[in-house]
Each structure stands twice: as structure tokens, then as C-alpha cells.
Structure 1
Amino acid sequence: MTKYLDEIREKVKEYLPPKVRVKSIEFEGPQLVIYVENPQELAEVDIVKKLAKDLRKRIIIRADPKSLKPPEKARQIIMQIVPEDARISNIFFDEENGEVIIEAEKPGVVIGKQGSTFREIMRAVGWSPRVVRTPPIKSKIIDNIRNYLLSVREERSEILKRIGERIHRTSLIDEKWVRVTFLGGSREVGRSCYLLQTPESRILIDCGVNVSNLSSTPYLYVPEVQPLDALDAVVITHAHLDHCGLVPLLYKFGYRGPIYLTPPTRDLMVLLQLDFLEVAGREGTNPPYSSNLIREALKHTITLDYGVVTDISPDVRLTFYNAGHILGSAIAHFHIGEGHYNIAFTGDFKFEKTRLFDRAATNFPRLEALVMEATYGGPNDFQPSRKEAEERLIEVINRTLDRGGKVLIPTFAVGRSQEVMIVLEEAMREKRLRETYVYLDGMIYEATAIHTAYPEYLNAQLRDLIFYHGINPFISENFVRVDSSSKREEVISDPSPSIIIATSGMLNGGPVMEYFRHLAEDERNTIVFVGYQAEGTLGRKIQKGWKEVPFPVDGRREVVEVKMEVETVDGFSGHSDRKQLMNYIRYLNSKPEKVATVHGDESKCIDLASSIYKTYRIETRAPMNLETIRFV
């Protein structure tokens, strides 16, 4: 490692101007960090780009900590430099990256004409400024994550150095092969978990929980995975619990390595894991880990934006691409060796533009193998278009409101809730839906706040609506947050027609249960399912026509009669339907030689694999759990 760093130091000297005073050069996680005493002399971004291209590393130029103004002093200087009309709402310091993040209502004013104010800030305080737009909704979870990472910065610095040494260790094995062991989520939905192996590396992709059966966990005890600390990395495709719910458990049993994920996935993952523990405690079940292990996992997270190529082991580079499923969801693309092999894991993905996101990416530099979801891979799994689904939802709501009823929409906090909110806001604005209050209960408000903090992850149309037309559908006056049991009781007892969006999406817990219990017996009301209802859940039973539902109330059993109207509006799913799954293969710019189908019922995984083979003549498999496939 020392010799390798010496070679890099010589290369850096060739690129940097003589007046730049380099203090030290170190690997921190996947990044090569160059500490300089006078970073303001490095205004030319091209130097960094050229250096990164030549060294094939992620390069960060960072001010030597000794050359930085103390945070409080720097804050005062920044407030003096930046014009008042920028309306700065927050300034906080990321000591790990030597950055000062400036939140402002008008980011352009902070940057200044051709970056003049930006450069003045850097010269005056030493910190590298990063300017972001003030989110319209404050996120408590984002603030807590920032503060926590700041509190453990010294420990995290040591963690990143250790990870950096591991990533850039010398390769010792000349053999070349790639294999994947399927540890969960194969021929089933839930507990997604896959192990990617090369002679040099072991990488875990996702580590999910089966929410309906906590004892059903991924096969983490098999020899291929043990000991856990021998893993090079954990890669998380998105924040749903069936993909990330058991990540903290890895640290309970010895893993000490990094977790790679997008910034929104990190924040949503923490939100959903904390809620998972809260629900388990409320229902009297023993959760598999405690909140201190969520913090331990957070300490090891390394966030990557879409399109950033990153070394995560001696012979594997990772790149995230948009998956179109939920905020921050990613297709994980692995480039193995120097052009040896390329394999991608889709996670959950949507191959259709939605109200929130662009459709899943299909443009990869190379792709020899693909592991893809098959949730709706059955021969009859066709969904109506999003436009048809929206019109149907509005028609059902109008009908219910006209007769004086309430509409209850059970949703997942992340993704479907925000899609429905945008549809309702637009319909009311355009007078296609009568104006009424839309009550948001559960984690929906906090999840929506996280969406507003990452506008760059939303599609261009929605960004334009927010930034250039002054219309932010997330902060419509029609949306009312329900943040207490008394407010919930008020919403239920209010005789006025209204719309209620509440978690959980399958009626297997959460505040939606209280609404259902009180609204079910009034035939003027309607319950509308806009998401998948798994077999065995209360939502599925009601879909099937159950008219009497047993309910535990204060230690006794109560039977609730279902007289309300029951409607299912398909088309809002964040998963691709059968047609989209087949089209995804067609539109890939680089056709894979092998495809494995996972994350679906057994029959759907098999049928989709068979259809891909028949249509495209690509070698396909529908692997079972504990099966290992050698790809090359």
C-alpha cells in the first residue's frame, strides 16, 4: 500500500501547479483524498478530472483541516459575504469532506455571477462550499442523520481509512471467475439477498426482511457468507425493508465493512428501520436488532450518486443507475476486473415514467449478465396505464365524496403515497376533483419531507413544476398532517367528506387500522387499494370480499362489519408489469448473455425466464434460494 501511494504522489505532483501545497494524500473509503493547504489555488476543475481519469480513482481535493476557519467564525464570514436576498436558511459543516453546506431559498445568489461569490467564500473560510436549495418541508430524520455523523466523525474517519486500505489492497489471485449465490428473494417476494463472488471479492447485494414472517431471514449462516467480516461490501438497491431491513443485523454478527447506497436511500432506510422497530415493539414481537445497531450501520454508510463509478474492492467497480421504483432506488452495475465481466442487479424497478421518476435506465457501457425482478412476471400480470389508473382513482373519489363519504387509501409511506399526493393535488388544481382535505397519517409526511430534500432525484417535469412554475404539489394547502391520536380521532369523527392516506399499505398494522375500524361499517365510505396486497394480509382478505373482520381492541376481540365500498385501482405500482419487464430486455443497449429472474412467486419467476429465452434467445434461469450460479 505504501509503495502504491508513493507512486500516486509522484503522479499528483505532475498534474498540480507548483504553487499548490500538498499536505498529505490518503485513501478514505473508495476515494483518494488530496489534502492541500491552499485549495483556492485549484480553481481548475479540469485538473481533478484529468487526474481522476489517469489514476482511475475518485479524487477529492480537500483543505488541510488546519487551514480551515473554525465553524462559528466561518458561519459569520459567509453571512457577511452572501447577499441577504439569497435567504440562507441553514449552514452546516461536513468536516468529513471539508465542505460547508449552505441551504438557501435562492442558491443562484449564493453562487454568484459565474461563481464569483462561491469562490470568495472558499478563499475566505477555506471550506469548500456546496449550495443546496432550502427544502420546503423540514426533515427531522435528515437533521438527525447529519448531527449523528458529525458526532462520530473521528471514529468514521478511522473506519474510512480502514475501508480504503481494504479496497486498494494488492490483488494476489490470477484466476478469473464470477458467481452469485442466492440467499433470499428467489422464487419468493421478501428477504432479498445475493452474494456476488470473484476470486478476490465477496459483495452482498441487499439484505432484506420478510415482514410477514420475521423468522424467515436470508441464509446468512452458509459457508459462502461466513465470516461476515470477510465481506468486502454491502450494496443496497433501495430502502424498502424487504431489501434493507436486516442490514443492522450484519453488525450484530461481526460485519464491519461499508454499505454503499444513494443518499436518499440512506435517509429512507434509517426512517423505515426505526419504524420497523417501533411497530415490532407496539405489536409485542421481538425485533431482530436494536436502534444502536441502526446507528452502527449508519456509521459505515458511503453514499454514491447515480453514474459515479467507484472502486469497492480490488477487482470490482460499482455504478448506480436510476431504477424508477422509489426515491433513490438504484440498479447496481458491477464492472469486474479490467473489462473481464459486467453484471447488474435491478432490485425493484419501474420501466415507465411516473409522476415522480424517469423510467429505469437501460444504457450501460457493457452488460454480460442481469439479475432482475419478476414481481409481476406472470403471463397475465398486465396493469392499466398510469393515465387510466389516475382517471379511475379520481372517479372513485368523486363518487364517494358526492355521497358524503370518506375515502381511505392505505399506502406504503415511500413512493405510492407521494404519487397519489401529486395526482390528487393536480386534479384539485384543475377542478377535476372537488376540493377537500387530504389527511396524511403515519410516516408519509416525513417520507415526503425527504423527497423534497432531493429534487435532483425526481424527474425533470416535476422539478420544472417546482422550480420554474412555483407549484410544489407536496406542500398544497389541501394536505393536512395527522401527528397525534387526538387529531386522528378528530378526522374520524368529523362528518365532512374527506380523503385519508395512511400507512400501512396492506392493512397489516399502523394508523390505517384505526381508520378502517371506524369507517368500515358506513356504506358511504370507500377503501381504495392502490398497491399490491400480499396473500394472507388483511388487505388481501378485504379485496377477496370478506364482510366480517375480527379486530383486537383493548385485549378483547371485536368483529367489524365491512359495509364500505371496496375498490382496487391498479396501475400505481412501482414495479414493472409483464409487458414492461419484457420490454426492458428489448431496450437494453447492451444485451446480456445470461438473465436470472428473482423477487417473484415461483411460477412468475419461471414463466418470465422462459418467455425471455423464447423471445430473445438469452440463456435464462429462475434460481432457487441457496443455489449458486457461475456466470463465467
Structure 2
Amino acid sequence: MKLTFFGGAKAVTGANYLLESGDTRILVDCGLKQGGAFCEKDNFEPFKYNPSEIDAVFVTHAHIDHIGLIPRLYKEGFRGTVFSTPPTKDFAEELLLDSEDILGREAERQGKPHIYDEKDIEGVMNLWKTNTYHREVVVKDFKATFYDAGHVLGSSCVMLEAEGKKILFSGDLGNSPAPLIKDPEVIEGADYVLMESTYGGRVHESKEERKNLLEDVIESTFQDGGVLMIPAFAMERTQEILYELNELVENGRIPDVPIFLDSPLAIKLTAVYKKYVNDADYFDKEARDRVSSGDAIFNFPRLKMTLKTEQSKAIKDEPAPKVIIAGSGMSQGGRIVHHETNYLPDPKNTILMVSYQAANSLGRRIFEGDKRVKIMGRDVEVRARVKAIGGYSSHADQNGLMNWLRPMRDTVKKVFLVQGEEDQMIPLQTLIRDRLALDTIIPETGDVVEL
């Protein structure tokens, strides 16, 4: 059996792994690379394999850095089957359509052809089948099973089995405890593990600490009469923040001020969350209990959802203090960049980072302290306070990663660390070797391993 790392090696984004046995070729994820022009130009490079020879794609979850190139795979000849959980498929169509619009505009700016269009997305969705956790799927030489990764609604780890060997792809592992969904599932029996390492070198704040920090940031901003901007990913991060704000509002812990959800995509994806909110396969008991008691967990007084462009523009006319939640989470586009242009120059305001910020992204530059940034071609001075709460990350920290891997220590022959930057991978590699005595590798893009 042969494993090739086409993406996700020494990089958080662009997950793409090829597993081959006999004449069967399986991809796990096929995602966009994100994080500035230098990284994103790779999305226009030719595939290093023939899409028409791929039998199936197993999708761990619907974030664009895991699914964003599947329509291009279809455009270039893929006619196999795409497998995921039901929520992942529901999210994927909305996210791919949004991505196609952004990629199309970027291609036009660069004078390049679109890498795919809406017809390719439609073609992919027609090939897409769903399966719930723990139900086995057979694709020629391979058996596959999804397990709950606890990262976002419907996210999965994928166990692929062939030639008597079990290879486990972690996907992105969740940060426990999450406000809405279940914790990452305990899995045993894998021979080889590809494990994400986005936060392999750090430990997040606790659940109560992150809520207290959110309350503190809101209060300090409002005392100054400022605006709180929260760049947030449309899926999971936005819904978690809404859930926490709902609690703070209901318990009288934050002032009664307008809170704007200024993200059409997040509004659409929140409808998917509502669809599954009573499903014990996906939501945790606390969230289900709150819903059954009549609590509208994604809605509360003073929350305003601004779907239309005119509504978004009108936010500027609402006097401070106020909260604005908008995408994109890395400030690479979306409505948040308009708000940043308006509010970053004012020291009364605050920008709160609750999402991973990829290298070279606008969000990363703001987070790392740049005093002047370019937004939509304009130089913008950064005088607003810059805060971050890592505990809202939907990625497991070092402790969470170790706890997930530990039950497999007796069977695992080799661990491959993926989906992380080297400064996070190296301390995790050292810890796994020292505490679990497991052979742990940090692969390079293009590496081929015989299993």
C-alpha cells in the first residue's frame, strides 16, 4: 500500500492525501491552500495525479481547505464517489459556491481562467453520497469508516483498511469541550495515523476562561464607547460565538447593545445547524437540552442578521458601542474587511481574533502587530486594540492531541504529523516520541511512503 502527501505537509491548509492499493486510488480531502497570494497561487497548479483515475474522495469536513479543489477534480475528469457525513454535504454546497465566487474574482484579477464553475460544483454534488458515523463503506479494495472528530458539525476522522492494515486520517480534531458538538471520539486499533498538528505546541484556555475573556473584551471595549469586530469563520466559529453571546446576554453579564451577524454565508450555514440541533449523533447533550427547554440558542434580543448589502452598509450608521461578527475568519475577504477599514484606525475599538490566522493572511499581519496594513488597495492604520482568545479555536491543543492519540499507542507503527506549521509540529513530535514512544514523522509535500 502506498501513501502520498500532496497537501497538508508542513502547512495547515490544502489537505490532500492519496492512498493506493492494487488498482484502487482513494483521496482523503482535496482542499484549497490559503494564506496570501504566494500560497494561493498553488491552487492553480496542475494536480500531481490523474483525477480520472481516482475511485473515491473521503471528506473529513466541509472547510474549504479540505474540500475546495474537489470541483476542479471533477472538471478534470473525476467521476468516482465523494463520501462524507450528511451535515458535511449540506455545508459543502454552500461553501463551494461561495468559494467559486471568490476564486473566480481572484482568477480574473490574475488574468487566469476560472479553476471551476457552478456546473462543476453541481457535478460534484451529484456524485456525493453520505454515511453516518460507524457505518462501513466499501470501495473496491478498501473499507472505510467515519468517526466523530469533534471539530465542526459532522466532522470526521476516516479509518481506511486494506491489505490487513488500518490507516487513520484524523482530519481536524476538535477543541474539547466545545459549546455545541461532541468531543473527539476515542478510536483504537490503527496501524498508521495521520494526525493534525495546528496547535501541537500550545495549550488553549479552558471553557470558563474563554467565556470570561470574551466578557472582559466586550466590557472594556464598551466602556470606551468602541466597536468590537470579530472576524469569524462562517461555519462553527460563528455559531459558537453566538451560543456564548446568548448565554452572556441571558445571564446579564454583558451590556444590552446591538450585535450584528454580518455574514450571508454564516446566516445560511446557521440554518444547517438548526436542521441537526436535535440529532444526538452530532450535538452534545447540553445544547440539545437547551433547545428542548425552548432556548433559541442561535438567536437572542439585539442580535441583527444582515443578509443584504444595504443592511451591511447601514451598520456604520448604528452608534457605538456595538459588536460586529463577520467573515472571513482570516480577513482575506468578505464583509469584515470593510469594517476593518472603518474601525481599525480608532484606538477605542477592538478586533478580537477567535480563528486560526494563516501565515501571510491579513488577519495574521494584524495579529502579529503590523501598525499599517493594506486593505482593498488602501493603506489602513491599525490603532485599535488587537486581542485573541485561542480557546475558541475548533482545533485541539497539544493536550487534546496527545489524549486522542494515547489509546492507540499499543497498535500504531508510525505517526505522520500533518496540517500544521513546523513551530507547532516539532514540539508535538518530541512529546509523542518521549511520552508515547511512537515513531513520529513530519512529511514533506510529495513524500511517498510504503505502508
What's the TM-score once normalised by structure 2's chain length?
A: 0.93
Instruction: Give the share of equivalent positions with the same residue, in percent.
Output: 32
Cα deviations across residues 530-585 of structure 1 (Å, max 9, x unaligned)? 11222222222222222333344xxxx54333232221122111111112212222
How far, CA to CA, are the matches of 1:490 and 1:545 in structure 2?
29
Alignment of 1:461 onto 2:282: no
The AA in structure 2 aligned to 1:482 is T
Aligned twin of 2:193: 370
Q: Flag structure 2 segments of 5+ consecutive residues without an equivalent.
A: none
Alignment of 1:503 onto 2:332: no
* Equivalent position SS for 2:42: coil
Tell me the CA shift for residue 237 of structure 1. 0.5
Alignment of 1:401 onto 2:227: no
Alignment of 1:419 onto 2:277: no
Aligned twin of 1:336: 162
Q: Does the 8 A contact of 1:363 with 1:590 survive in 2?
A: no
Cα deviations across residues 474-518 of structure 1 (Å, max 9, x unaligned)? 122332111222212221121142111000111111100111111
Q: Does the 8 A contact of 2:44 with 2:115 survive in 1?
A: no
Aligned twin of 1:291: 118
Larger radius of gyration: 1
The AA in structure 2 aligned to 1:375 is T
Aligned twin of 1:615: 435
- The one of 429, 438, 446 aligned to 2:268: 446
* Equivalent position SS for 1:417: helix
Distance 1:607 1:564, change over 3 A: closer
Give the count of matched residue pairs: 440
* Equivalent position SS for 1:206: strand
Tell me the CA shift for residue 349 of structure 1. 0.7
How far, CA to CA, are the matches of 2:187 and 2:373 in structure 1?
48
Aligned twin of 1:180: 3
Tell me the CA shift for residue 589 of structure 1. 8.3
Q: Does the 8 A contact of 1:597 with 1:606 survive in 2?
A: no
- The one of 248, 251, 259 aligned to 2:74: 251
* Equivalent position SS for 2:4: strand
Higher relative contact order (CA closer than 8 Å, sequence separation 6+): 2
The AA in structure 1 aligned to 2:417 is T
How far, CA to CA, are the matches of 1:319 and 1:542 in structure 2?
40
How far, CA to CA, are the matches of 2:379 and 2:6 in structure 1?
40
* Equivalent position SS for 1:181: strand
Tell me the CA shift for residue 306 of structure 1. 1.1
Q: Does the 8 A contact of 1:322 with 1:361 survive in 2?
A: yes
How far, CA to CA, are the matches of 1:419 and 1:351 in structure 2?
12
What's the TM-score once normalised by structure 1's chain length?
A: 0.67
Q: Does the 8 A contact of 2:32 with 2:69 survive in 1?
A: yes
- Counting only pairs closer than 5 Å after superposition, residues 524-563 of structure 1 correspond to structure 2 as 524-552=348-376, 558-563=378-383
Alpha-carbon RMSD across the aligned residues, in angstroms, is 1.9
Distance 1:255 1:558, change over 3 A: closer
Q: Does the 8 A contact of 1:208 with 1:218 survive in 2?
A: no
Q: Does the 8 A contact of 2:195 with 2:416 survive in 1?
A: yes
Q: Does the 8 A contact of 1:466 with 1:472 survive in 2?
A: yes
- Counting only pairs closer than 5 Å after superposition, residues 484-523 of structure 1 correspond to structure 2 as 484-523=308-347
The AA in structure 1 aligned to 2:215 is I
The AA in structure 2 aligned to 1:466 is V
Alignment of 1:383 onto 2:216: no
* Equivalent position SS for 1:180: strand
How far, CA to CA, are the matches of 1:384 and 1:263 in structure 2?
31
Q: Does the 8 A contact of 2:175 with 2:394 survive in 1?
A: no
How far, CA to CA, are the matches of 1:335 and 1:355 in structure 2?
33
* Equivalent position SS for 2:167: strand
Aligned twin of 1:433: 254
Q: Does the 8 A contact of 1:362 with 1:588 survive in 2?
A: no
Distance 1:235 1:319, change over 3 A: same
Aligned twin of 2:20: 197
Aligned twin of 1:167: none
- The one of 379, 383, 388 aligned to 1:568: 388
Cα deviations across residues 307-328 of structure 1 (Å, max 9, x unaligned)? 1112122x31111111111111
